[in-house]
């Protein structure tokens, strides 16, 4: 057994022993226990894609996606919060700024610093979050409508758009003194993720905290090539539904959906992502039917998984994914 296999097995053990047994209580209480995130940090999963020389686990993409799928099959809210962190790890690890790597990468990999994601400036169309150049850095001003993990993070990896149309990424402190205000999102699923609408009030981001700046079209190409990991959440929910239903045709569909995601090119990824989300929805519906009327009880795993599958129809989508999903669901 190689080191990656050992890490995947550890993820399975933590999911069975920690995440899955508490998943219903986590959602009902709308709060992830700090102990969940602490044990994942202590086990190295905040740095699973980080370089080993900075304390990361050094997992390749395939192993990291496998870990995310396993965790999502136990507790989607917890996995969703941890997933946001890895964008900051990858950005800092790939930065040309050596001092940025030295200052930030080891604490991020150890989970001593825990990052969320504010993606508004990197999305197609006019940006709601703007980066205004100034001496020594940028002012970030505007809004980012979906920021996950509030109360569990101390850092935001935020994307804003500068006047030239570039996507500017920066590492921002989250604190009571920061020029930020938030409004809670009242969602029907993954409520424990503490997702908020964030407003930035001329937040100064010094140049030494900028992880990158790229034209929007270049970012979109890079984004399309990196959408695989989000599909692991849908696979995880589908896998849990299959396990609760018992052996059947959905098992082979899950294998095919996983293989499609693992082998998809950037051009084929939207279709593979859509297929995984559609499978999670069908698997959850099949579980509801198999479980019968007790599925409607708040204590039922089936209703939780059905709501999570609904969430995954819209989480991390892009226009091409939405187009594929719309065709699938209308046919």
- DSSP characters for 162-186? -TTSEEEEEEEE-STTSSEEEEE--
Residue 132, judged by CB atoms within 10 A of its CB (0-12, 13-18, 19+), counts as middle
Q: At 106, phi and psi to the nearest 5?
A: -65, -45
Residues of the chain scoring pLDDT < 70 = 1, 225
Instruction: Count the Cβ atoms, other than its own, within 10 Å of residue 149.
Output: 25
Angle at 142 between CA 138 and CA 148, to 5 degrees: 100
- Measured N-to-C along each axis, helices 76-93 and 20-29 cross at an angle, to the nearest 10 degrees, of 100
Half-sphere exposure of 204 (CA within 13 A, CB side): 6
- CATH fold of 115-215 reads Butyryl-CoA Dehydrogenase, subunit A; domain 2 (2.40.110)
- The answer to whether the CB of 186 falls within 8 A of the CB of 146 is no
pTM above 0.75, yes or no: yes
Q: What was the pLDDT predicted at 1? A: 62
Distance CA 4, CA 8 (A): 6
The pLDDT of residue 84: 94
Q: Where in the chain is the domain with CATH 2.40.110.10?
A: 115-215
CATH fold of 3-110, please?
Answer: Butyryl-Coa Dehydrogenase, subunit A; domain 1 (1.10.540)
What is the tens place of the pLDDT at every residue in 79-101? 999 999 999 999 999 998 999 99
Q: What is the pLDDT of residues 315-331, one digit of tens each?
A: 988 889 999 999 998 98
Residues of the chain with CATH 1.10.540.10: 3-110
By DSSP bridging, strand 180-184 and strand 115-118 are: unpaired
């Amino acid at each position: 057994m190689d080191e990656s296999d050992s890490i995947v097995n550890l993820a399975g053990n933590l999911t069975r022993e920690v995440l899955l047994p508490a998943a219903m209580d986590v959602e009902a209480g709308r709060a992830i226990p700090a102990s969940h995130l602490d044990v994942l940090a202590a086990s190295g999963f905040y740095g699973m894609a980080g370089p080993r020389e900075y304390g990361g686990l050094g997992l390749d993409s395939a192993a990291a996606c496998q870990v995310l799928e396993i965790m999502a099959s136990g507790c989607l809210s917890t996995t969703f919060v941890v997933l946001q962190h890895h964008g900051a790890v990858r950005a800092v690890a790939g930065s040309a700024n050596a001092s940025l790597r030295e200052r930030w990468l080891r604490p991020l990999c150890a989970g001593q610093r825990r990052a969320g994601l504010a993606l508004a400036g990197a999305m197609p169309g006019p940006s709601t979050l703007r980066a205004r150049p100034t001496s020594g850095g940028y002012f970030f001003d505007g809004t980012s409508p979906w920021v996950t993990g509030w109360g569990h993070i101390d850092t935001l990896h935020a994307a804003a758009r500068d006047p030239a149309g570039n996507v500017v990424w920066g590492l921002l402190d989250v604190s009571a003194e920061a020029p930020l205000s938030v409004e809670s999102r009242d969602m029907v699923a993954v409520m424990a993720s503490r997702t908020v609408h964030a407003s930035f009030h001329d937040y100064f981001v010094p140049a030494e905290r900028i992880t990158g700046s790229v034209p929007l079209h270049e970012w979109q190409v890079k984004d399309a090539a990196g959408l695989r990991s989000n599909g692991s959440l849908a696979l995880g929910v589908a896998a849990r539904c299959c396990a609760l239903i018992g052996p059947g045709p959905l098992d082979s569909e899950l294998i095919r959906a996983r293989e499609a995601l693992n082998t998809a090119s950037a051009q084929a990824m939207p279709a593979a992502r859509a297929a995984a989300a559609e499978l999670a929805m069908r698997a959850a519906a099949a579980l509801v039917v198999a479980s019968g009327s007790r599925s409607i009880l708040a204590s039922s795993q089936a209703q939780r998984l059905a709501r999570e599958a609904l969430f995954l129809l819209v989480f991390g989508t892009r226009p091409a994914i939405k187009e594929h999903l719309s065709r699938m669901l209308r046919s």
